[in-house]
Amino acid sequence: MNKVIFLKRKLLIIFCIFSLICFQSISYADDEIDELEVNDVNNIIEASAKLEEDLKINSRIAVAYDRETGLKIWGKDEDKKTAMASTTKIMTAIVVIENSNLDDVIEVSKKAAWTGGSKLGLKTGDKISVSDLLYGLMLRSGNDSAVALAEHVGGSVEGFAELMNQKAKELNLRCTHFVTPHGLDNPEHYTTAMELAKIADYALNNEIFAKIVKTKSTTVYINGNPKSINNTNELLGNFSGVYGVKTGFTNNAGRCLVTAVKNDKFNIITVVIQADTKKDRTNDSVKLINYIFNNYEKINIEEMVNEDFQNWLNINKSRIHINKAKNNEVSIEKSKQKNINIIFKKSDLTDINIQINAIFEYEAPVANKTKVGEIKIYIGEELLETIDIFFDNQINAKDFNDYINDCIKVITDII
């Protein structure tokens, strides 16, 4: 009987250990190294090009972001808070680049070496440069690299998270919060697709970051020994115009892909989050890129606003009356426009609506730069921008002598 109980307990212990191992591998799983074969990616790209007229993607969260204007082109729950997996490392990399010397050599801690998930393969006591760790972070998606960098720059993972959140605040990201440098699931570690696109946009303006994420493969040196690594981004080198940025995967984030891509007309960032499979994230990214490239065009909205404003001025300038003004001659200008070029879906061009409203009666004196009215630019029912209209000259009130002269003029006209 005791042997039966002993065997049952032994089996239970083995089962618990096995379950724990499986749980750890699932929870800590990140970017898989056995990436999609090139032929598979090419097949997805070819097939997706035929499905672009009516965009439907499987990823639960997505956005296409225009780098020139900083505006959303297309979105699907793009403002919903979500886990972000290893796309976190975009922020990790830029914080490291801005706060460290890339030539510094780091000794890897036990904590960094034992970090779960995808790894560069660091061991406790290994020596490696910040520069090589950044390549290990962004190409190999090494969680061990992330912790080693965080400890070097921030003193600890917690200290580095403070730097990440400080940068998020500087970028005016209101729905983003970081806890770790690698992105393993944590309820307090989140962003949105839109804010993730803004992080990537900011990071890509840094030459060092841009160089790293467009690298397909490279060699890093651990303890002076070379190690070849490849980029986990399956679109890099396979889809024309792609020049970064980052893959990711955890249970809560699903399959993720942030892509920077440009052609002769557009320079955009696409983000897909919570895709069920790697094939889905690839397929959705390609479909989204093709959809934007083939169904949208860039319009110079400034030219349209200038034309409408000039027509309005020609008709309405003489209607503006300033009571008791010494001189009723007025100069009217508009403030500088933020959005010069914007991207529109070709079928939605008729949805551009420019409205101009103004006040026509004033009492002198009127100071220079006094607001007259507003130009409002709508895309459908969405307000894109408001531009102020103002007096571009000082308008003084009449004094006693002016009234005497007016009286004399009236009498002279009667005589």
Catalytic residues: 86, 89, 141
Task: Say which DSSP state 406 is in.
Answer: H
Tokens of 387: 């531009």
Position of tokens 């946009």? 201
Please tell me the distance from the alpha carbon of residue 293 to that of residue 241, in angstroms, as a whole number.
Answer: 11
Do the beta carbons of residue 284 and residue 272 sit within 8 Å? yes
Do the beta carbons of residue 377 and residue 340 sit within 8 Å? no
Amino acid letter for position 403: Y
Of 20, 84, 12, nearest to 254 by C-alpha is 84
Do the beta carbons of residue 338 and residue 380 sit within 8 Å? no
Element (H, E) at 255: strand 254-262
Largest pairwise CA distance in the chain: 134
Please tell me the distance from the alpha carbon of residue 54 to that of residue 57, in angstroms, as a whole number.
Answer: 10
Q: From residue 34, how far is each of 89, 234, 236, 275, 278 by CA, in Å? A: 20, 10, 15, 18, 11
Strand-pairing partners, residue 62, are 76, 272
Of 263, 295, 271, 270, nearest to 53 by C-alpha is 295
Do the beta carbons of residue 360 and residue 312 sit within 8 Å? no
User: Is 204 strand, coil or helix?
Assistant: helix
Q: What is the length of the chain?
A: 415
Do the beta carbons of residue 127 and residue 106 sit within 8 Å? yes
214: Cα separation from own chain's centroid: 17
User: Is 374 strand, coil or helix?
Assistant: strand
Do the beta carbons of residue 292 and residue 268 sit within 8 Å? yes
